[in-house]
Amino acid sequence: MEKRLTRTEMLFSLGFLFMLVIAVGAFFYGVKIGSEQTEAKLVENTKHLSGNNPGIATAYQQQDLVSFYHTVFLPYREFQTSWFETIHKLTSQQLTDVSSALKELSSVAEQKYDEAEHASVPKSSPLLETAQLQLLKSLRMFSETAQRAAVSAKDMNTADLMKALEKDAYYTQGVKFAVAGQQSYYESMLKWSSSVNPNIPNHYDASAVLTIEQWKPLPLTVKNKLMADQLNARKELSPFYPQDLSSRVDQFIYSGQANNMKMKSVDAIVDLLISTEAVRSGDFSQSKAELYAKELLPQLPFFFPETE
């Protein structure tokens, strides 16, 4: 026969269960509080590693610049190299099938677009987000330009085709987005350098006329950003990098050529160098050891080639 619990036994059991629930709840609450206190202590102890402004420390980190280079900027530059090579062959009459070559160029642009589109860019670095969007737009515009030129190539000679291509609205928009994307990337490098060295400004806009005396003492990341500004203002699509232009400007000044020609502004020097095609890709690497041995630069391949 089943034995029923007495009232006293029932109350004792319920009381025991109640105390057990409270004990378990208190244990987990204590763990939660302890974790929060430990986390708060760790944050406090590591504040010095991030500087006074946590927002700046988490934005434009070197690994973000390096990742952007490999996943977005490099694919774009690879297309740009193909573009210049194809246009050179076109103007020098080296293409046996112009239409097919231009269609291939359009395919390369689409391929590089797909690569850059899937790159992950941190939202904490909005300039990199902007640069990615601009370079993607550029690739799409160049793809359309090459496709349209491939159709026109069947009925036009080389000279007329080049004139039509350079006036094509898709081409001008492609150049516009390309140099704007490059400018945003170089401004990101400036912000990185400022986070590493507080003596470097995180933003710098040149005055209406940038004099040689104003230019000389500027850190290299500022100079490179200003040269990206110059190329953007001119809508100048070039095979060289902004740092190549920076180095040629410095060489022109330190060699005494600017003084001999009585030049006072950097803008005038840039005009002369570009108009005479005096800048080449690789100029920076050749003068780096002599002019920029102590300059702060992010660890990007075009600043530190493997041959060094």
Sequence ranges of the domains in the chain? 57-197, 204-294
Query: For residue 93, what are the contacts with CB-CB under 8 A and spacing of at least 6?
Result: 158
Q: What pLDDT, in 10s, does the model give residues 10-43?
A: 666 666 566 655 654 544 444 344 334 333 333 3
* Average pLDDT, integer, range 181-196: 97
* Residue whose C-alpha is closest to residue 269's, from 213, 186, 201, 185: 213
Q: How high is the pLDDT of residue 306?
A: 63
Amino acid found at 168:
D
Least confident of 28-32, 253-257, 275-279, 285-289: 28-32
Q: Give 2 or 110, the one with higher predicted confidence.
A: 110
What pLDDT is stored for residue 47 in this prediction?
Answer: 35
The 10s digit of each residue's pLDDT in 297-306 is 999 999 987 6
What is residue 154's predicted lDDT score, i.e. its pLDDT? 87
- Residue 25, pLDDT score: 55
Is residue 57 pLDDT above 70, yes or no? no
Q: What is the pLDDT of residue 206?
A: 81
Both tokens assigned to 151 = 């159709």
pLDDT at site 45: 35
At 70-80, the pLDDT tens digits run 999 999 999 99
3-state helix, strand, coil in the chain (%, to 5): 70, 0, 30
What would the pLDDT profile of 133-184 be if each residue is shown by its tens digit? Answer: 999 999 999 999 999 999 999 889 999 999 999 999 999 999 999 999 999 9
Percent of the chain whose pLDDT exceeds 90: 76
pLDDT at 35: 35
Cβ contacts of residue 138 below 8 Å, gap of 6+?
76, 174, 175, 176, 177, 178, 181
Which among 182, 186, 189, 196 has a CA at the least distance from the CA of 60?
A: 189
Q: How confident is the model at residue 92 (pLDDT cuts 50, 70, 90)?
A: very high
